[in-house]
Chain A
Amino acid sequence: QVQLVQSGPEVKKPGASVKVSCKAPRYIFSDYYMHWVRQAPGQGLEWMGVIDPSGGRATYSQKFQGRVTMTTDTSTGTLYMDLSRLSSEDTAFYYCASRKVGDKYFDLWGRGTLVTVSS
């Protein structure tokens, strides 16, 4: 079954950083983009940014610019989302979701990674 496999839950202190991984099938590294989306408790989904898995070029939402870094490791088929200077407002489920070049919808999602920021 084709799926995106995300890393497990994380608990971090304010000010720390978190790195969430997303292992993807090989075909994602050709003609697809990988997006990162989050959902805080009681809130709607929020787009964070997108990365070209093969080339590594990323574009970030203005809200997270300077705090988020998205990277890709083609050798292991894994994508990463690094978020720094965490605060309690970053407590959320973080999802990776793939979208084929030219399409405007996400055809595959990860199950989400819960990141809890608490002192």
Chain B
Amino acid sequence: QSALTQPASVSGSPGQSITISCTGTSSDVGGYNYVSWYQRHPDKAPKLMIYDVTNRPSGISNRFSGSKSGNTASLTISGLQAEDEADYFCSSYTSSHALGVVFGGGTKLTVL
């Protein structure tokens, strides 16, 4: 059982928007603006998509956006494309360990 809760799967058609949630507690997601999101395609290294809740690294499409409300963070992908089909997982700083981190279980995005 993961520390952060994500839906196991979401799906959407090309051009649509989807949102993936990531629910934690006040000791992690709710307590700090340190949520990050990663994309993982099969047999590839995970890739940072969003950091510090809302920020996009250089080179990441603005179709990807992040937000947070209370203990739940969200990743929204707009204008879905076939290449967006992948696993997405969230991560958060946690106060329970000085250098530690907690993760979500991951969400499989299917582009129909």
Contact = CB atoms under 8 A, between A and B. Distances in A.
A111 B36 contact: no
Chief secondary structure at chain B's binding surface: loop
A45 interface: yes
B45 interface: yes
Range of interface residues on chain B? 20 to 34
A26 interface: no
B46 A105 contact: no
Interface in A49-106: 50, 59, 61, 95, 97, 103-106
Interface stretch (B9-17, B78-86, B98-106): B98-106
Interface string B92-112: 010001111111111000000
B2 A3 contact: no
A35 B99 CA distance: 10
Chief secondary structure at chain A's binding surface: strand
Interface residues of A, number: 26
A97 B100 CA distance: 13
Contacts of B57: 107
A43 interface: yes
Interface of B: 1-4, 32, 34, 36, 38, 43-48, 51-52, 57, 89, 91, 93, 97-106
